[in-house]
A = this chain, B = another copy of it.
Amino acid sequence: MNDADDSKGKRQPTIVEVADRAGVAIGTVSRYLNGQPVRVGNRTQIAQAIHQLGYRRNALAAAMKSELTNTVGFMVPNISEFHAAVLEHLSRLMRQQGRALLTYCHNDDSASVLDLLDFFDSHRVDCLIMDGRSDAADRIQEFVESGTPVIFYDNDADGPAADRVFVENRAASFRAVCHLLDIGHTKVAVLTGDTKVFAGRERYEGYRQALISRGLEINPDYVLDSHWSENEAYSGMLQLLTLPDPPTALYCCNYNIAVGALRRIKERGLKVPDDISFISFDDVPLFRLHESGITAIAQPVAKIAETINSILMTRLSDRSDAHAPNTITLDCDIILRGSTRRYSAS
């Protein structure tokens, strides 16, 4: 009761108090804060006042005035190795530019996606970064139309006039499967991601084209949609292994699927690559160590984040220029390890 702070949390000092203490007008302080010229005498007075008061600009109040809030919405289906890595890079880039990054995951639940869009809208984000998805296309398009740039990555979806940053899903898959064919396999199976969405479809297409380019037929028994799910891959793998004529090589369309497949392979007492050759999309540190190493397709996560950031900066710097959306496709590396083995028909 004897102190100045009435409430528990003592109020933070405002620009007015800084101005008072420095003996200048608030306008002067504001211009000081924004790096505009201020008489050198006042400069030091203000700096001192800010320091003594522990003043820190209220970003919310500032955002209300200027057109930009310096806030970015980031939405991912989950925080897997891949999205986590993108987030790590992105968060660094955003911080360096003084932008707030609002991060959430929607677990592929449409209601959550819509909730989040409302939420981001409420917070007046300057930009929206997310995996492309069709279950909220109209709502996303509203963002674009109201001047909030949207950037899709990882997965595409028709509709919104968003910028897009992807990897060469199809070409990388093509190269990976060609490698299996090159070393003598003809019975190559694939556990695909959800083929109803872009990334899943493209990765499967790479597989298909590889086989076709070698004059091989697609055997439907060898193509199983495991919807990016570890458990479905685990079941699917059982189907593959109990086929009358089981495959000698397997291509897994992401990390989850690879884990499910490996679980089953191990459970059945089979060996990679002796009993089956194995390639996975997505690379993780342990793949290097797994038995003789798992050959994998590595996505350029750092470059993905940088590309997203650079698009964001372009869109935000010249907002009048509503040029058509870009689609940028980045290259992947195929890391050759010991999970594939030459196959000679006996």
For A81, the chain B residues whose CB sits under 8 A away are 81, 84
Tell yes or no: A329 within 8 A of B by CB: no
Contact status B290-A263, CB under 8 Å: no
Contact assessment for A54 and B142 in the assembled complex, using a CB-CB cutoff below 8 Å:
yes
A345 within 8 A of B: no
Tell me how many chains of this kind the complex includes.
2
Within 8 A of B (CB), among A1-28: 7-10, 12
Interface flags, A97-110, vs B, CB<8A=1, else 0: 01011111101000
Is B100 a contact partner of A101 (Cβ separation < 8 A)? no
> Pick the contact of A9 from B54, B67, B92, B122 — CB < 8 Å?
B67
Knowing A59-B122, A64-B61, A105-B92, say if A9 contacts B147 (CB, 8 Å): yes
B58 adjacent to A147 (CB under 8 Å): no
CB neighbours (8 Å) of A263 from chain B are 288-289
| A157 at interface by CB-CB < 8 Å | no
A319 at the interface (CB under 8 A from B): yes
Is the beta-carbon distance between B91 and A7 smaller than 8 angstroms? Answer: no
Given A102-B101, A147-B9, decide whether A88 and B95 contact each other with a Cβ distance below 8 A. no
Q: Does A146 contact B (CB under 8 A)?
A: yes
Contact B289–A12 (Cβ < 8 Å): no
Q: How far is the CA of A180 from the CA of B259 in the complex (A)?
A: 28
Within 8 Å of chain B (Cβ to Cβ): is A165?
no
Q: Ordered nearest first, which 10 A-B pairs have the shortest CB separation?
A: A9-B147, A103-B103, A79-B84, A84-B84, A286-B286, A59-B122, A79-B88, A60-B60, A91-B104, A59-B123
B290 touches A289 (CB 8 A): yes
A145: chain B residues at CB < 8 Å are 10
Q: Given the known A-B contacts A67-B7, A147-B8, are A118 and B56 also in contact in the complex, defined by CB atoms under 8 Å?
A: yes
A121: Cβ under 8 A from any B Cβ: yes
